[in-house]
Amino acid sequence: MSALLRSALLAAARSAQLERAVTRLPVSRDVVSRFVAGTTTDQVVSTAETLLRSGRFISIDYLGEDTTDLTQAQATVEQYRVLIAALGRLPQAETTSGAVRPLEVSVKLSALGQALPRDGHAVAREHAHQICAAAEAAGLWVTVDAEDHTTTDSTLAIVRELRADFPWLGTVLQAYLRRTEEDCRALAGPQSRIRLCKGAYDEPESVAFRDRAEVDASYLRCLGVLAAGQGYPMIASHDPAIIAAAGAAVAAARRKCEEYEYQMLYGIRDDEQQRLAAEGNHVRVYIPYGDQWYGYFMRRLAERPANLAFFLRALAGG
């Protein structure tokens, strides 16, 4: 996909006007269901159970981001409590300290109030603390998603603080950011869980690599740091070249298969997820659900021309 089209789609992902238009299109729901596992807790838990039966782990994201409304941020925390309680009733909920937990939720701090004008950082930290406490009691993990680069310092500071109470709290790092190799070195200590992805936002050249080859090279350097580190690397990519290189990196670091995991998004490369799991690897599927699918969906369109073509064909009725 041309860099221009990708930038345009990522700009569209942040337009409230386009969101209103696209979410009203009658075909949107059908196309979106390829990437989003429904709108209700029951629907996403049912999808999670299917994936767990196939030998994969799961991480569930209640969709929403960039809220500037405290009530909405509180409602998101409540939604996570309901979700965590439902997941905690599954037999895979794991309360053994130190064990790899098959069940996880992923959270975006901007959905928890991080963008509130005065005290966003503190509000998001308190809300994330509440979610972590509920997850701990239910035998689940939490990982904090990475959003655009203006939030990275605040997000990593919150994760550092919360890890005092919840040492298993995971965080996402984006290989396209120039700072990330250094962040990997700083964060790959004992018990850390780092989900390494390429990065999905439209970032300026000043802070991010924009050339695909440079992003891939950065990913491999970061992966090398994480594999050699003392934590639990989570290799979040669908890219065959990255997955092959990751296998070599963890082998070189003499990691056993329970000392790292592969992660992919729901609806993308399902057969590859199953192949990796059948080989004995830990594979976790990131499953988004909820009504606020627009931003997530537009980022998936921006990643791959075939997804955009599929959406446009559905719009044209063919």
Best CA proximity match to 109, nearest among 160, 153, 59, 66: 66
CA angle 35, 150, 299 (to 5 degrees): 20
Q: How far is the CB of 312 from ligand FDA (least distance, A)?
A: 15
Binding test (CB under 6 A) with ligand FDA, winner from 41, 76, 171, 174: 174
Question: Which residues 243-272 are close enough to bind ligand FDA by CB under 6 A?
Answer: 263-265, 268-269
Q: How far is the CB of 268 from ligand FDA (least distance, A)?
A: 4
Residue 183 bears catalytic tag = no
Residue 198 in contact with ligand FDA, rule: CB under 6 A: yes
Tokens of 17: 């006007």
Residue length, the chain? 318
Question: Which residues 119-148 are close enough to bind ligand FDA by CB under 6 A?
Answer: 145-146
As a 3-state breakdown, the chain gives helix, strand, coil percent values, each rounded to 5, of: 50, 15, 35
Residue 222 in contact with ligand FDA, rule: CB under 6 A: no
Residue 145 bears catalytic tag = yes
CA distances to 196, 220, 235, 255, 268 from 247, rounded to whole Å, are: 14, 11, 10, 10, 20
Give bridge partners of residue 283 from the DSSP assignment.
262
Residue 177 is which amino acid? Answer: L
CA distance 141 to 228: 23
Q: How far is the CB of 118 from ligand FDA (least distance, A)?
A: 26
Instruction: Using the minimum distance from each CB to ligand FDA, give the nearer residue, 163 or 195.
Output: 195
Considering only the stretches 10-18, 83-91, 149-157, 298-306, report the one whose residues sit in contact with ligand FDA under the rule CB under 6 A. Answer: 298-306
Considering only the stretches 24-32, 71-79, 126-134, 191-199, report the one whose residues sit in contact with ligand FDA under the rule CB under 6 A. Answer: 191-199
Residue 201 in contact with ligand FDA, rule: CB under 6 A: yes
Q: Give the pairing type, strands 141-144 and 103-107.
A: parallel
Tokens of 277: 């799991």
Instruction: Using the minimum distance from each CB to ligand FDA, give the nearer residue, 134 or 243.
Output: 243
Binding region for ligand FDA (CB under 6 A): 145-146, 172, 174, 195, 197-201, 236-239, 242, 263-265, 268-269, 286, 300, 303-304, 307
